[in-house]
Amino acid sequence: MTTVRRVTECVPWVRLCDIPDAPEEGRLDAYRVGRTPVALLRHDGELRAYLNLCTHAYGTFNAECLKDGILTCPLHHARFDATDGRVLAGPAKERLGRLSLAEREGIVEVLVPRPLLEPGVIGKLVARITRNRAPGWPTVKKMG
């Protein structure tokens, strides 16, 4: 019997912002890395990065969605724990996708899975959701 493993390939670390520009406690900044929406937030003193797509029907979070450590989706009001992305209230059933994050040499960097940045089923889905059809990656844009 052959075991097939799927390896999630990532782009090299991508710079999101300088550390002094990272969100303060209780704040969320939205970015787009290539076609991939990323939410960067600070909760309990720690920066966290999530794929900025609600797991229910792909709503995206903005600065107003984070209150008291809870992320509330603006579309159908699913609630997620900002600590680890787990679901606190439906209709979402799956936790948010958390991205690896590093703070070093004065900058905040994230690892984004490569399939989300390239054409393909997921890439097209993300492009449709975000209405970002611009080619090329990984351009980093701060949203809002």
Residue 125 exposed, middle or buried by CB count within 10 Å (0-12, 13-18, 19+)? middle
Q: Which stretch binds ligand FES (CB under 6 A): 13-21, 53-61, 120-128, 134-142?
A: 53-61
Of 1-9, 56-64, 111-119, 136-144, the window that binds ligand FES (rule: CB under 6 A) is 56-64
Site for ligand FES (CB under 6 A): which residue of 76, 124, 128, 142? 76
Quote the CA–CA distance of 67 and 26 in Å, as a whole number. 7
CA-to-CA distance for 110 and 33, rounded, in angstroms? 9
Count residues binding ligand FES (CB under 6 A): 10
Q: Which stretch binds ligand FES (CB under 6 A): 19-27, 50-58, 97-105, 122-130?
A: 50-58
Residues that bind ligand FES (CB under 6 A): 54, 56-57, 59, 73, 75-76, 78, 91-92
